[in-house]
Structure 1
Amino acid sequence: MQPPDGEEEGQPSAESMRTLAESLGMDWYFLPVVSGQVTDEQGDEFGEILANAEAPIVAYCRTGARCGCLWALSLRHEHSGEHLVESLKLAGYDMPDFFKRLQG
């Protein structure tokens, strides 16, 4: 996962990150997510990646919030919204609008 290309000045491109990952023997998956616009479908896609990718798995974004949202959405059919919200809070995230969405 990576922020969309060009989101921030100086950010490495998806292609440069793919090249680096592959040079280290890692598989590369590109799931661009716009900040504040994470969809349920992206969460499902993230869950598929987590289920099928070889561990260890590295997922990243600028602050980690989008990765946290994707993680929670990928597990929403297996865990309660309350459990996912508490897990995100324990990880240091405060995203009231997203928390409402998970619990809704």
Structure 2
Amino acid sequence: MTTKRVRSERDDNLSYDAKKAKEIFARKLADDAGGRRSNSQMKRDADLILTLLRDGEVKGARMSVFTATFQDLFSISRESAGARCRAAIKFLKDEGRVHPNEDKHPVYSLSE
């Protein structure tokens, strides 16, 4: 019995790994330069916001609601809560999962 592997397109294209790595690093550097660091805390925060929007009685909320909720839930300062919420909302907007309305202080709701 042989353990020979079937050649794939990836084996024939030696630049695949370098190209893929370059794309990943470029995306990471762009995220860091933009102030967004993708991490598990931000994703957990984003999940909390999605849950609030999905399970809440109203279908939208202002940033101040998220900030106050995070401030109480995690016993952190308003500044820290606001920073975490802004990062999570930016992540969700980039993913196309939430959208703001056109108000000066927008109401965020789930994308349909």
Shared fold, TM over 0.5: no
Q: TM-score range by the shorter chain?
A: under 0.3
1 or 2, which has the higher helix percentage? 2
Return the index of the structure with the highest Cα Rg. 2
Q: Larger % of strand: which?
A: 2
TM-score normalised to structure 2 length: 0.25
